[in-house]
Amino acid sequence: MAEQQQGSFHRSSPLKGVAQDISQLMEKLDTNELYLEGDETDIDTTNETRASDGAQIPFSAVYMTKGFKEADVQIYITGAPIKAHVVDVERFTSTRKVPSPNIYTIELTHGEFNWKVKRKFKHFQELHRELLRYKALLRLPIPTRRFTVRRQTVKQEEPRTMPSLPRSSDHIVREEQISSRRRQLEDYLTKLLKMAMYRNYHAMMEFIGVSQLSFIHHLGPKGLEGFVMKRSGGHRIPGLNCCGTNKVCYRWSKRWLAVKDSFVTYMKPDSGAVAFVLLVDKEFSIKLGIKDTETKYGIRIENLSRTLIIKCNSYRHARWWGQEIEKFICEHAAVYLKDQRFTSFASVDEGILSKWYVNAKGYFEDVADALENAQEEIYITDWWLSPEIFLKRPVMEGNHWRLDYILKRKALQGVKVFVMLYKEVELALGINSGYSKRTLMKLHPNIKVMRHPDHVSSTVYLWAHHEKLVVIDQSVAFVGGIDLAYGRWDDQEHRLTDVGSVTRGAHSPPTTTPTPTATANNNPPVELGPDGSGEVEETRNPARIRLERNGGEEEGGRMRGGTWLNLVKRLQRQNLERSDSVSSGDSDWFTSKQNLLKDRLANLKKLRHLSANSDLPTPDDDNGSVRSLCPDIGQLVGQSRFWHGKDYCNFVYKDWIQLDKPFDDFIDRYTTPRMPWHDIAAVVHGKAARNLARHFIQRWNFTKIVKAKYRPVSYPYLVPKSMSTASELTYQVPGSMAARVQVLRSAADWSCGIKYHEESIHQAYMHVIENSQHYIYIENQFFISCADNKNVFNGIGDAIVKRILKAYRDKQRYRVYLVTPLMPGFEGDIKTGGGAAIQTVMHFNYRTIARGEHSIIERLRKEMEDMWMNYFSVCGLRTHAELDGNLVTELIYVHSKLLIADDRTVIIGSANINDRSMLGKRDSEMAVIVEDTGHVPSVMDGEEYQAGVFALHLRLHCFRLILGGFTDPSIDLQDPVSEKFFKEVWIPTSARNATIYEKVFRCLPSDHVRNNMDLDAFNAKLGLNTEDPAKAAEELKKIRGFLVQFPMYFLSEENLLPALNTKEGMVPMEVWT
In terms of DSSP bridges, do strands 872-883 and 815-819 run parallel, antiparallel, or are they unpaired? parallel
Per-residue model confidence (pLDDT) at position 169: 67
Annotate 242-290 with three-state secondary structure. CCCCCCCCCCEEEEEEEECCCEEEEECCCCCCEEEEEECCCCCEEEECH
Contact 761, 911 (CB under 8 A): yes
Per-residue model confidence (pLDDT) at position 1: 44
Distance of CA 178 to CAs 124, 126, 181, 517, 953, Å?
Answer: 15, 20, 5, 78, 70
Does pLDDT of 287 surpass 80? yes
Residue 308, helix vs strand vs coil: strand
415-441 tens-digit pLDDT: 999 999 998 887 667 788 889 999 999
Cis peptide before 617 (omega within 30 of 0): no
81's CB contacts (< 8 A; 6+ apart) are 47, 48, 49, 51, 110, 193, 194
Nearest one of 724, 743, 732, 736 to 353, comparing CA atoms: 736
Residue 619 pLDDT class (50, 70, 90 cuts): very low
Residue 325, helix vs strand vs coil: helix
Contact 813, 941 (CB under 8 A): yes
Does pLDDT of 555 surpass 70? no
Q: pTM value?
A: 0.84
Per-residue model confidence (pLDDT) at position 796: 97
pLDDT averaged over every residue in the chain: 81
Nearest one of 855, 799, 783, 839 to 1065, comparing CA atoms: 839
**Residues above pLDDT 90, as percent of the chain:** 58
Q: Rounded mean pLDDT of 391-406?
A: 92
Does pLDDT of 1047 surpass 60? yes
Per-residue model confidence (pLDDT) at position 613: 42
485-544 tens-digit pLDDT: 999 999 999 999 987 655 433 333 333 333 333 333 333 333 344 344 443 333 333 333
Residue 108 pLDDT class (50, 70, 90 cuts): very high
**Residues above pLDDT 70, as percent of the chain:** 76
Per-residue model confidence (pLDDT) at position 632: 33
Asked which of 199-208, 622-631, 951-960 is least confident by mean pLDDT, the reply is 622-631
Higher pLDDT, 329 or 604: 329
Cα 440 from Cα 157, distance rounded (Å)? 48
763-801 tens-digit pLDDT: 999 999 999 999 999 999 999 999 998 999 999 999 999
Per-residue model confidence (pLDDT) at position 154: 56
Residue 645, helix vs strand vs coil: helix
Does pLDDT of 641 surpass 50? yes
Cα 164 from Cα 167, distance rounded (Å)? 9
Does pLDDT of 52 surpass 80? no
Residue 458 pLDDT class (50, 70, 90 cuts): low
Asked which of 42-56, 248-262, 277-291, 637-651 is least confident by mean pLDDT, the reply is 42-56
CB atoms within 10 A of CB 610: 14
Q: What is the chain's length?
A: 1073
Cα 541 from Cα 621, distance rounded (Å)? 15
Q: Which amino acid is at 532?
A: G
Nearest one of 403, 398, 399 to 365, comparing CA atoms: 403
The strands making up 102-110's β-sheet, listed across from edge to edge, are: 82-91, 102-110, 113-120
Torsion on CA atoms 819, 823, 825, 827, rounded to nearest 10: -170
Cα 362 from Cα 885, distance rounded (Å)? 31
Per-residue model confidence (pLDDT) at position 896: 97
Residue 471, helix vs strand vs coil: strand
Higher pLDDT, 428 or 159: 428
Task: Fill in the DSSP letter of residue 161.
Answer: P
Asked which of 117-126, 162-171, 185-194, 613-622 is least confident by mean pLDDT, the reply is 613-622
Q: Which amino acid is at 147?
A: F
Does pLDDT of 761 surpass 80? yes
Cα 780 from Cα 790, distance rounded (Å)? 23
Q: Which amino acid is at 825?
A: G
In terms of DSSP bridges, do strands 263-267 and 274-279 run parallel, antiparallel, or are they unpaired? antiparallel
Per-residue model confidence (pLDDT) at position 1046: 97
160-195 tens-digit pLDDT: 678 888 876 655 556 666 788 888 899 999 999 998
122's CB contacts (< 8 A; 6+ apart) are 99, 100, 170
Does pLDDT of 34 surpass 60? no
Residue 659 pLDDT class (50, 70, 90 cuts): confident
Cα 895 from Cα 848, distance rounded (Å)? 18
Cα 61 from Cα 414, distance rounded (Å)? 11
1015-1044 tens-digit pLDDT: 999 999 999 999 999 999 999 999 999 999
Cα 648 from Cα 495, distance rounded (Å)? 11
Cα 1003 from Cα 1039, distance rounded (Å)? 15
Per-residue model confidence (pLDDT) at position 663: 83
Residue 385 pLDDT class (50, 70, 90 cuts): very high
Residue 198 pLDDT class (50, 70, 90 cuts): confident
Max mean pLDDT range (7-16, 257-266, 388-397): 257-266
Residue 99 pLDDT class (50, 70, 90 cuts): low
Compute and round to an integer the Cα radius of gyration of the chain.
35
Per-residue model confidence (pLDDT) at position 782: 95
Higher pLDDT, 104 or 624: 104
CB atoms within 10 A of CB 844: 25
- The H or E element spanning position 117 is strand 113-120
Cα 315 from Cα 675, distance rounded (Å)? 68
CB atoms within 10 A of CB 50: 9
Q: Where are the alpha helices (DSSP H) in 940-1028?
A: 949-963, 979-981, 987-1001, 1012-1020, 1024-1027
410's CB contacts (< 8 A; 6+ apart) are 371, 372, 374, 378, 417, 532
Q: Is 1054 exposed, middle or buried (0-12, 13-18, 19+ CB in 10 A)?
A: middle
Cα 545 from Cα 539, distance rounded (Å)? 9
Per-residue model confidence (pLDDT) at position 553: 37
Asked which of 452-466, 843-857, 873-887 is least confident by mean pLDDT, the reply is 452-466
Cα 756 from Cα 759, distance rounded (Å)? 10
Contact 878, 1044 (CB under 8 A): yes
Contact 408, 440 (CB under 8 A): no
